[in-house]
Amino acid sequence: MEKVLTIAGSDATGGGGLEADLKIFQEFGVFGLAAITSIVTMEPKTGKHTMSPLAPALIQQQIDSAFAGPIDSVKTGLLPNKEIIEMVSRSLTSYQKKIVVDPVIGGKGTDEFVHAESVEAIRKQLLPLAFITTPNLREAGILSHMGKLNSKEEMKSAAEIIHSFGVKHVVIKGGSQLNLDQAYDLHYDGSNFTFYPHPLIHTNYNHGAGCTFAAAITAALAKQYSVTQAIDLAIQFVEAAIRAGIAINPFVGHVWHGAYTHAEKRLELTNNE
């Protein structure tokens, strides 16, 4: 069985972070391992998020634990500061297989968590090691120094700039912000641009969608699917998860990570069991 490691934050509400990653790995039938970089909690009366980074030495010990055996692919998610980004990058330097970098730069309730020096460390230390990176439109604008991206042409320019940092494949999640007829995700491999159009879904139930997309790609790569197959499958997987979104708390609507495989129907005892 393929083994997939996530190096990410914990989202105690279960929508994003390593909680999402591990659920998705299970859906793909791969064995999930996790190194926690930080713990994100939510104040239940106000919905305010707080991030508590773990000590770098403890993160290092978790990564070393995970690498005690063979690992087929690695996903990085929320890396709370420059020191931790550099430490994780050092740990992955000799790792030759597939690394998926989800460059989590803020996000729902977490905007204040990532600073300019962290963004620079993602560009200089982490992206050169990565096989695929999966920024959303906002993150792609920040990483490329282009600011707000307003069109498919600007997405292409941003993808070229991000590719120049050394990552092999750039996948920008277009989402609904471009106000077009459909959502467009863009894949750039250094020579070709491919847009993946898919339906816009008007919903607030999308907490965890970004993590889900990157985790699905990471699991698919571990299973030796091609980059194109991995992106196609991840788009369908996320679409199902968003359509089946659920209210977990009064503040953010969560995607249901098990929707694509109807996981909610699994393990139902029948009357005669």
Q: Which of 40, 63, 149, 170 binds ligand PXL (CB under 6 A)?
A: 40
Residue type, 206: N
Residue 248 CB neighbours (<10 A): 16
Select 46 or 192, whichever has its Cβ closest to ligand PXL.
46
**What is the β-pairing status of strands 31-42 and 49-53?**
antiparallel
- Is residue 16 close enough to count as binding ligand PXL by CB under 6 A? yes
CA distance 253 to 208: 9
- Is residue 9 close enough to count as binding ligand PXL by CB under 6 A? yes
CB of 45 to ligand PXL, least distance (A): 18
Instruction: Convert residues 55-84 into a mask of x (bound to ligand PXL by CB under 6 A) and - (unbound).
Output: ----------------------xx------
Contacts with ligand PXL by CB under 6 A: the residue count is: 15
- Written as six digits, the tokens of 241 are 């998860």
CA distance 162 to 48: 31
Residue 107 φ/ψ, nearest 5 degrees: 130, -170
CB of 150 to ligand PXL, least distance (A): 23
- Is residue 137 close enough to count as binding ligand PXL by CB under 6 A? no
- Is residue 245 close enough to count as binding ligand PXL by CB under 6 A? no
Residue 219 CB neighbours (<10 A): 29
CB of 160 to ligand PXL, least distance (A): 25
Angle at which helices 17-27 and 209-222 pack, to 10 degrees? 40
Residue ranges in contact with ligand PXL by CB under 6 A: 8-11, 16-17, 40, 77-78, 104, 107-108, 110, 210-211
